[in-house]
Amino acid sequence: MRLAYLTIDDGPSGDFEHKVAFLRARDVPAVFFCVGAQLEERSAAVVQAIRSGFLIANHSYSHPYFSRLSLEEATREITATDAIIEQLYRSAGRDRPMKLFRFPYGDKGKRTRSLKRCLTAMGYSGLRIPKPRLPFPYARWLRLQDADSWWTFDVRDWCLAHRDHAYPIRSRNDVIDRLDHELTRARWRIGSNHVLLLHDHAETAPLFQDLIDHLLTYDIAFTLPQ
């Protein structure tokens, strides 16, 4: 992996400011896909993050499964958080460089065409990494040119915050071991640029720092989408 976008979902949590300070100390830029309701709770910290150059993106208002929403509810989840982010950029005195949206749980729901139209009309575009060398089905997802953002590598840090899953990941070492295994085994994992998915969960704050330091041993150039 030569180039990576670090994307961090589900914040801002109570640990958000620590993460921002830690990433600044490591000189690692990141995109935070944030939940609208939490943005309202921690707006001052987010304004500071914007001024520090972090990109704040839309991860819905209440983090629902979109397949359980009506089109109207789904649209409201997107537009409400869009308005909050717009206001936060104004408060920070910065232009919003781009509009990115990621569906909670990667669940695009059943109204994909209507929501794509809605996102496009609002100025959203998908997050694309340059020169992905990814196998099917990742390549197919990237080629869809959807207006929402996907990822190419889920670090699965969330497995420690939510225990209800089938992955054999129960400890910090499980997450790191799986990361090493995946990044050294599969040729496409090594040979492609990536959109990395991590999370801003307060429960896994120490793990987050370990993971960033561990990823930096792989000589990855973290950058922001242009």
Positions touching Zn ion (CB under 5 A) are: 9-10, 104
Nearest to 126 by CA among 24, 180, 57, 71: 57
Nearest to 106 by CA among 78, 76, 64: 64
Q: Give whichever of 97 and 104 is closer to Zn ion, judged by the CB atom.
A: 104
Nearest to 76 by CA among 121, 22, 115: 115
Q: Which residue sits closest to Zn ion, CB atoms considered?
A: 9
Q: In the complex, what is the shortest distance from the CB of residue 105 to Zn ion, in angstroms, rounded to a whole number?
A: 6
DSSP assignments along 160-187, one per residue = GT---S-SS--SHHHHHHHHHHHHHH-H
Q: In the complex, what is the shortest distance from the CB of residue 23 to Zn ion, in angstroms, rounded to a whole number?
A: 19
Q: Give whichever of 92 and 159 is closer to Zn ion, judged by the CB atom.
A: 159
Q: Give whichever of 9 and 82 is closer to Zn ion, judged by the CB atom.
A: 9
Q: What DSSP designation does 124 have? A: B
Q: In the complex, what is the shortest distance from the CB of residue 221 to Zn ion, in angstroms, rounded to a whole number?
A: 25
Q: How far apart are CA 97 and CA 105, in angstroms?
A: 25
Nearest to 104 by CA among 123, 83, 84, 81: 81
Q: Give whichever of 192 and 208 is closer to Zn ion, judged by the CB atom.
A: 208
Q: In the complex, what is the shortest distance from the CB of residue 141 to Zn ion, in angstroms, rounded to a whole number?
A: 17
Q: Give whichever of 9 and 146 is closer to Zn ion, judged by the CB atom.
A: 9
Residue 58 falls in which region: left (phi positive, over 0), alpha (psi -120 to 50) or beta? beta
Q: In the complex, what is the shortest distance from the CB of residue 199 to Zn ion, in angstroms, rounded to a whole number?
A: 7
